[in-house]
Amino acid sequence: MKNILGREVPDFIEGYGKVRHFTGAFANLGERRKAGALARSAAPGQRKLLPSLREAIESSGLKDGMTVSFHHHMRNGDHVVNMVTDTLAEMGFRGLHLAASGIFACHAPLVGHLESGVIEQISVNTFNPGPVAAAISRGKLQKPAILRSHGGRPRAIESGELHVDVAFIAAPSCDEWGNINGTHGKSACGYLSYAYADALYADRVIAVTDSLVPYPNCPVEIGQDLVDSVVEVDSIGDPAGIVSGTTRIATDPVNLLIARRAARLADAAGYVREGMSFQTGAGGTSLAVAAELRGYMLKRGIRGAFGSGGIHAYFVDMLKEGLFRALFDVQCFDLAAIASAAENPRHMAMSASMYGNPHTRGCLVNNLDVMILGAAEIDTDFNVNVITGSDGVILGASGGHSDCAAGAKLTIIVSNLLKGRLCVVKDSVTTVTTPGETVDALVTEWGVALNPRRADLREALRGSGLPMADIRELRRIGEALAGVPEPPSFSERIVGVVEYRDGTVIDVVRQCV
Amino acid sequence: MKNILGREVPDFIEGYGKVRHFTGAFANLGERRKAGALARSAAPGQRKLLPSLREAIESSGLKDGMTVSFHHHMRNGDHVVNMVTDTLAEMGFRGLHLAASGIFACHAPLVGHLESGVIEQISVNTFNPGPVAAAISRGKLQKPAILRSHGGRPRAIESGELHVDVAFIAAPSCDEWGNINGTHGKSACGYLSYAYADALYADRVIAVTDSLVPYPNCPVEIGQDLVDSVVEVDSIGDPAGIVSGTTRIATDPVNLLIARRAARLADAAGYVREGMSFQTGAGGTSLAVAAELRGYMLKRGIRGAFGSGGIHAYFVDMLKEGLFRALFDVQCFDLAAIASAAENPRHMAMSASMYGNPHTRGCLVNNLDVMILGAAEIDTDFNVNVITGSDGVILGASGGHSDCAAGAKLTIIVSNLLKGRLCVVKDSVTTVTTPGETVDALVTEWGVALNPRRADLREALRGSGLPMADIRELRRIGEALAGVPEPPSFSERIVGVVEYRDGTVIDVVRQCV
């Protein structure tokens, strides 16, 4: 059937199951019971430190077809996913479900494990473009990948929809009884927020550490009451791989123009004010918007409430300058953020559930004033795609995109109108990640388009001097410049199921041909 | 039937239900599913700040017969329990179950609510001797009180045995979206550990605060994702009431003798060593033991791993001196501890579940080397009573007594042989709180008795110079001095059910006549 966004999604997907169709960004709230986690007793004196990963896996009772989970705070420097999956392959496991909060280019060896059948399913909420995403698009997985958001993953775990049998936690600092933190140790990566749900709900929790400290580890971020066993390894990863290449403010004049417009839009709409909050990614244009907003705040003596999300050096500096009262962190994007998390009590961790899970009593994204987001494609209904490229190959997953868009009072997509020689505005996006009802504006170098749902914004922006444009007009301009590409060709086979943060299916990704 | 400790406990107790009998301190471990907490959504923009307690209660959907919960970190200075229960009475509620982690003398007005039927059941894990405990002993509650331990309470909540409908959290510092901490604000009381399970599992969570701070409150101890509504009141309590009268080191020479012997015992048994850990209460003799152990540590240059439990100024000083690497805190016993919790990152919070819940993957008490405990009575099988006085009236509840005894490598009961003109050693205690299999030694001014289960200790203590005695001999000495009192008279009616930390019933308390 076609869902309310006009996406063709079957009622049942082989290897996924019965589909609950997306019916609106806020249509599936209310109340429900969570799953019950496993209570498991350790008698006094029962030791947890095991001599090898293999022994920890053996003692976990892992079986073929079960689900193993990972978090991605080591990002592109992570060693744990490969180390564990290689061991699982050596041990002869088959048909596993890999539930990782993120998969990066460094995880290329997973492709072999997909092809050999060690891994038959993947759930993930953020991807670095790379070999694993491409392999999924080429149909190398036996079951469709499930692509979630950062808030949707803990929701799925808490609800029992994503039942984790064995969680592997990359633990930068750990003691032999399983008290873990991510902010200390030679491989410190910052807070371990994405792993909290795994630690709370997995049937077995294995801490993998390269920094075993005397008891008790301090601070305790994930407590010994949740951890079954501890394994020491040489290296859980290379912190240099945490920093992605895009953590510098844009210098390109077009990107700076877009950033200035986005900041002016936020200001004209009334969100640059005492107690304000905002979030940006660590990309160049996003950081340039942060710099613009910082300028307004300094000039007017405004103190903001918080910055949130993946935390980068720019937000760390704003906290130090007193421009934010606090930071809420689900992952550190660079080493300055890691250092800040370790030492500044106002740089606070939040669980991924507190960050973006819609089935909580108020996740943090609901407190966001302004959210700056990117897009691979946006359609004339403001639906955004960050999952597939125009060639139909999987590029990424939602990450916090759909969560933040839904929560923030003002969600701005910043983008060059032309990306990779193609117009970013489409009649219909290849894949819907974030529904248009949660997106308020598109800011490009060719003009600013407002979602018609936001009549209030249109009113507020009168006299702002911003070059307003209809999004259809932007599409026409972009297509006149770049042409209209042939849409990618897909087979019928579904290789990815895109779950909206509430667990409904908003779209599917089909195999590229 | 008689349980394995010889206590007469029926298989079914009216107002409590079917009894699972105590079958040994470590007989009920293993695995089980926890209950599923309620996931409840707040849409963006949904406000939580309500104008009055009455409106918060109305919006919670509370009904007659439901369970309301409280934590006791404001101790004898708490205003919240009385404020809420008075409001519930005014609103006409009947038959409520009051699940408080602790009840103090300041809660005397509850007696009226028991008598009027507003409250028909109480669950509690620590009591200050006082009017409510006495009223329970006199049969004023319609259903028997359930007396748990600090670790048993979160276990009961997590398992669903204690289902909380509405939790009221006294919040010394809170923002309008429900981010709470206990370490800041005019009524700062320290960490809110006992309330964590309530926040995670209650169907509704109401924060009651007298210090509403700008968003976001920092640090976040209990997050906005767990809190349904926030109410501002004039005062949640008087921090002066947190300090009990017994937080000074004993000066009485007999108590000091006992303390010296207990410390010598711990040393001779090999537990005074690098990385050691211990816990004491805040009573005079307990603190004197801490002072003795500190002396050994200073003299030998020993650095301990941690002190734990209710934290007092003495432990705060030892942390500052570097004698502990960290403190693990479930409640602050004095203002020095509160200040330390607010500012010293090595003074860490732990949940009550992490502290003492046996149905976790390793609670902290399992890491304790030495635990110093008191006793109202101890029998010749080393079973300890801290619940009823020799007159049969309820004095207290287990608190952390049975948890720590079960976990610690060496559990020492320190007591004057004669207490209140009676011998502390009995042939059979009035009520069993802590089973003798988890108690290793009794230290008195008349001698040191070892549990015969600890043949290893008997060996280790040879040559220690400690005056060893058989516990039966101590009883004979005490009874020769003090006489054998008439046992109290009880009716058949059960007014209290004593749950061991694993949820089995270890004993019952009958109505005094």
Query: Percentage helix, strand, coil, to 5, in chain B?
Result: 30, 25, 45
- In B219-238, the residues whose Cβ lies within 8 Å of chain A are 219-220, 223-228
> What whole-number distance in Å separates Cα of residue B408 and Cα of residue B278?
8
| Residue among A35, A326, A407 whose CB faces B44 most closely | A407
Q: Is B205 on the interface with A (CB under 8 A)?
A: yes
Question: What does the pLDDT read at residue A142?
Answer: 93
In this predicted structure, the answer to whether residue A245 has a pLDDT above a threshold of 70 is: no
Per the CB < 8 A criterion, the answer to whether A233 and A209 are in contact is: yes
pLDDT of B218 higher than 90: yes
Residue in chain B closest to A31 (alpha carbons) equals B40
CA-nearest residue of chain B to A229? Answer: B361
Q: What is the pLDDT of residues A72-81, one digit of tens each?
A: 999 999 999 9
Residues A36, B31: C-beta atoms closer than 8 Å: no
Q: Which residue has the tokens 């030998």?
A: B300
Contact B34 A38 (CB under 8 A): yes
Rg value, chain A, Cα:
22
Same fold for the pair B51-242 and B253-487: yes
Q: What is the pLDDT of residue B281?
A: 83
List A residues 365-394 in contact with B (Cβ-Cβ < 8 A): 365-367
pLDDT score for B247: 66
A42 and chain B in contact, CB less than 8 A: yes
Instruction: Say what the pLDDT of residue A449 is.
Output: 98
Burial class (CB in 10 A: 0-12, 13-18, 19+), A213: middle
Per the rule left: phi > 0, alpha: psi between -120 and 50, beta: everything else, A264 is alpha
A85: which residues sit within 8 A by CB, 6+ positions away?
A: A98, A109, A110, A113, A118, A119
B120: its two tokens: 């028909």
Burial status of residue A301 (CB atoms within 10 A of its CB: 0-12, 13-18, 19 or more): exposed
CB B224 within 8 A of CB A407: no
Report how far residue B407's alpha carbon sits from residue B306's, in angstroms, rounded to the nearest whole number: 15
- pLDDT, position A513: 87
B368-397: pLDDT as tens digits = 999 999 999 999 999 999 999 989 999 999
The C-alpha of B275 sits at a distance from chain A's nearest C-alpha, in angstroms, of 8
Q: Does domain A51-242 have CATH number 1.10.1060.10?
A: no
Is the confidence at residue A246, as pLDDT, over 90?
A: no
Query: Is B179 in CB contact (< 8 Å) with chain A?
Result: no
Q: Is B218 exposed, middle or buried (0-12, 13-18, 19+ CB in 10 A)?
A: buried
**Taking each helix axis from N to C terminus, what angle separates A53-60 and A80-90, rounded to the nearest 10 degrees?**
70
Q: What pLDDT score was predicted for residue A330?
A: 98
Helix (H) or strand (E) holding A317: helix A313-320
Stretch 310-339 of chain B: residues touching chain A, C-beta under 8 Å: 325-326, 328
Burial of A233 (0-12, 13-18, 19+ CB in 10 A): middle
Nearest CB to A325; choose among B30, B205, B214? B214
ipTM exceeds 0.90, yes or no: yes
A225 to B46: CB separation less than 8 angstroms, yes or no? no
**DSSP string of B122-139, one letter each residue:** EEEEEE-SSHHHHHHHTT
Cβ separation of B223 and A32 shorter than 8 Å? Answer: no
* Banded model confidence at residue B163, pLDDT cuts 50, 70, 90: very high
Per-residue confidence band for B243, with pLDDT thresholds at 50, 70 and 90: confident
**Phi, psi dihedrals of residue A359, rounded to the nearest 5°:** -95, 50
CA distance A92 to chain B (A): 27
Spatial contact of B291 and B312, defined as CB atoms under 8 Å apart: no
pLDDT confidence bin for A283, thresholds 50/70/90: confident
Kindly determine whether residue A361 and residue B226, on different chains, have CB atoms separated by under 8 Å.
yes
Q: What is the pLDDT of residue A1?
A: 87
Is pLDDT at A247 greater than 80 in this prediction? no
Q: What is the pLDDT of residue A305?
A: 98
Count of other CB atoms within 10 angstroms of residue A225: 27
Copy the structure tokens of residue B159.
């398992």
More confident residue, A28 or A130: A28
Q: How many angstroms separate the first and last alpha carbons of chain B?
A: 23
Residue B131 burial (CB count, 10 A): 17
**CA of B153 to nearest chain A CA: how many angstroms apart?**
14
* pLDDT tens digit sequence for A323-344: 999 999 999 999 999 999 999 9
Q: What gap in Å lies between CA A73 and CA A338, rounded to an integer?
A: 11
Cβ atoms of A156 and A499 closer than 8 Å: yes
* Identity of the residue in A39, A357, A409 whose CB atom sits nearest the CB atom of B32: A39
A35 touches B: beta carbon within 8 Å? yes
Question: Average pLDDT, stretch A13-41?
Answer: 97
- Predicted pLDDT of residue A191: 98
Among candidate residues A152, A183, A168, A125, the one with its CA nearest the CA of residue A349: A183
Mutate to test the interface with A, among B41, B340, B359, B403 (most CBs of A within 10 A): B41
d(CA B33, CA A167): 17
CA gap A219, B349 in Å, rounded? 9
Both structure tokens of A397: 């997953």
Q: What is the mean pLDDT of residues B494-499?
A: 98
Chain B residues with CB under 8 Å of A44 CB are 26, 365-366, 406-407, 409
Could you tell me if B343 lies within 8 Å of chain A, comparing CB atoms?
Answer: no
Token code pair at residue B261: 């012997």
- All residues of chain A having their beta carbon less than 8 Å from the beta carbon of residue B345 are 218-219, 345
Distance from CA of B119 to the nearest CA of A (A): 27
**How many A-B residue pairs are in contact by the CB < 8 A criterion?**
202
- What is the per-residue pLDDT for A282? 80
Residues B172, B176, B178: CA angle, nearest 5 degrees: 65
Strands A67-70 and A96-103 come out as: parallel
Q: How many residues does chain B have?
A: 513
Say yes or no: A357 contacts chain B, CB-CB below 8 A: yes
Among A47, A279, A361, A365, the residue to mutate for chain B (most B Cβ within 10 A): A361
Residue among A28, A154, A20 at smallest CA distance from B43 = A28
* Residue B244 pLDDT: 66
Chain B residue whose CA is closest to A276: B215
- Inspect the interface and report whether the beta carbons of B39 and A362 lie closer than 8 Å: no
Q: For A509, what's the count of Cα atoms within 13 Å in the CB-facing half-sphere?
A: 36
Arithmetic mean of pLDDT, B439-462? 96
Chain A hits for B328, CB-CB cut-off 8 Å, are 216
Q: Please list every residue in chain A whose beta carbon sits closer than 8 Å to the beta carbon of residue B39.
A: 31-34, 155, 158-159, 359-360
Q: Is B31 on the interface with A (CB under 8 A)?
A: yes
Which helix (DSSP H) or strand (DSSP E) does residue B174 occupy?
Answer: strand B173-174
- Residue B168 is predicted with a pLDDT of 98
pLDDT band at residue A99, thresholds of 50, 70 and 90?
very high
Q: With the C-alpha atoms ordered A426, A428, A434, A440, is the resulting torsion angle positive or negative?
A: positive
Residue B420's pLDDT is what?
A: 83
B346 vs A26, A218, A326: nearest CB: A218
Asked if A30 reaches chain B (Cβ–Cβ under 8 Å), the answer is yes
What residues contact residue A15 under an 8 Å CB cut-off, 6+ apart? A121, A142, A143, A144
Domain boundaries, given as residue ranges, for chain A = 51-242, 253-487
Residue that is written with structure tokens 């060059």 in the block: A416
Q: What whole-number distance in Å separates Cα of residue B291 and Cα of residue A237? A: 45
Question: If one looks up domain A253-487 in CATH, what number appears?
Answer: 3.40.1080.10
The span from the CA of B308 to the CA of B326, in Å, is 9
Find the distance separating the first CA and the last CA of chain A, reported in whole Å: 23
Beta strands in A304-409 (DSSP E): 304-311, 324-332, 347-349, 370-373, 377-379, 384-385
Quickly count: other Cβ atoms within 10 Å of residue A442's Cβ: 26
Burial of B475 from C-beta contacts in 10 A (0-12 / 13-18 / 19+): buried
Residue of A nearest to B32 (CA): A39
Query: Which residue, among B418, B474, B482, B427, has the nearest Cα to B449 in the 3D structure?
Result: B474
pTM of model > 0.90: yes
- Contact at CB, A351 and B225, closer than 8 angstroms: yes
- Binding-face residues of B in 241-300 toward A, CB within 8 A: 275
Contact with chain A for residue B35, Cβ under 8 A:
yes
CA pair distance B478, B472, nearest whole angstrom: 10
What's the rounded mean pLDDT across residues B475-489?
94
- Residue among B205, B218, B363 minimizing CB distance to A348: B218
Instruction: Say which residue the tokens 């709370």 belong to.
Output: A200
Q: B216 and A306 in contact by Cβ < 8 A?
A: yes
What percent of chain A has pLDDT above 70? 99
Residue A62 pLDDT grade (very low, low, confident, very high; cuts 50, 70, 90): very high
Chain A residues with CB under 8 Å of B165 CB are none
Percentages of chain A per state (helix, strand, coil), in multiples of 5: 30, 25, 45
Q: What is the average per-residue pLDDT within A397-408?
A: 96
Per-residue pLDDT reduced to its tens digit, B192-207: 999 999 999 999 999 9
A158 shares contact with chain B (CB less than 8 Å): yes
Nearest to B43 among A26, A33, A351 (CB): A26
CA dist B390 → A95, B117, B367, B394, B471 (Å) = 64, 29, 33, 10, 19
CA dihedral B500, B503, B504, B507 (to 10 degrees): 40
> Left (φ > 0), alpha (ψ -120 to 50) or beta: where does A7 sit?
beta
How confident is residue A244, by pLDDT bands cut at 50, 70 and 90? Answer: low
pLDDT for res A420: 83
Answer yes or no: is pLDDT of B25 > 60.
Answer: yes
Residues of A in contact with B227 (CB under 8 A): 361-362
pLDDT digits (tens, 9 = 90+) for B305-324: 999 999 999 999 999 999 99
Beta strands in A312-359 (DSSP E): 324-332, 347-349
Alpha-carbon gap, residue A71 to A341, rounded angstroms: 18
What pLDDT does B69 receive? Answer: 98
Q: State CA A469 to chain mean position distance.
A: 30
Residues on chain B touching A199 (C-beta within 8 angstroms): none
With CB atoms and an 8 Å threshold, state whether B30 touches A43: no
Of all residues in chain B, the one with the smallest CA distance to A407 is B44
Of B428, B427, B422, nearest in space to B482 by CA: B422
Residue B245, pLDDT > 60, answer no
pLDDT tops 80 at residue B9: yes
Bridge partner residues of B232 (DSSP): B209
pLDDT at B258: 98
Whole-number percent of chain B with pLDDT over 70: 99
Polymer length in residues for chain A: 513
Q: Provide the CB-side half-sphere exposure for B45 (13 A, CA).
A: 5
CB A399 within 8 A of CB A286: no
CB contact under 8 A, A360 and B226: yes
